[in-house]
Amino acid sequence: MKLFDWIAERRRGKPPPEGEAPPTLHIYASQPAVTAMLVTLIGVEEAHIDGIITATTAKFGSRHRIVYVTDSLDFMRFRHRNALFEYLPSILEQTLHAAEMPWDSYMARRWQLLLSKWKPLHIVSYGQNIDTFLAAAPRLATGGG
């Protein structure tokens, strides 16, 4: 008797025959978990993004799930390549809206969320280093009298 048939009969309320045990579930093959790798593309010129995606996919794509962290608004570069990506607002965007929110704490929390979400084994930076980028986030502008 197959496992799913056995379960279906139990759901219908049919008692198992005397001495019958449920069939054993066998797992014949499993794939190891694929580890994530973050590739930061902060301040990278858009003309170089495709080349970086190609190079990192060729080098690391068979062993890692690559997630690109970008400040570029051109998401189609990633979508056309079926690349996973996360967006962080650029320093320019943060500066334009500095009076609206505390970017320093927001960016620090956002980065921690990305690390928790993807649990990367490696972080590779192209362009500006992520620590420098996070440190440059503007604080909430307070109005002085």
Q: How confident is the model at residue 145 (pLDDT cuts 50, 70, 90)?
A: very low
Percentage of the chain lying above the pLDDT 90 cut: 68
Residue 106 and residue 78 in contact, taking contact as beta carbons nearer than 8 Å: no
Fold of 35-135: Rossmann fold (3.40.50)
Percentage of the chain lying above the pLDDT 70 cut: 83
Token readout for 58 is 């060729």
pLDDT digits (tens, 9 = 90+) for 9-21: 777 776 666 766 6
pLDDT digits (tens, 9 = 90+) for 65-114: 999 999 999 999 999 999 999 999 999 999 999 898 999 999 999 999 99
Residues 6 or more apart whose Cβ sits within 8 Å of residue 107: 88, 89, 94, 133, 134, 137
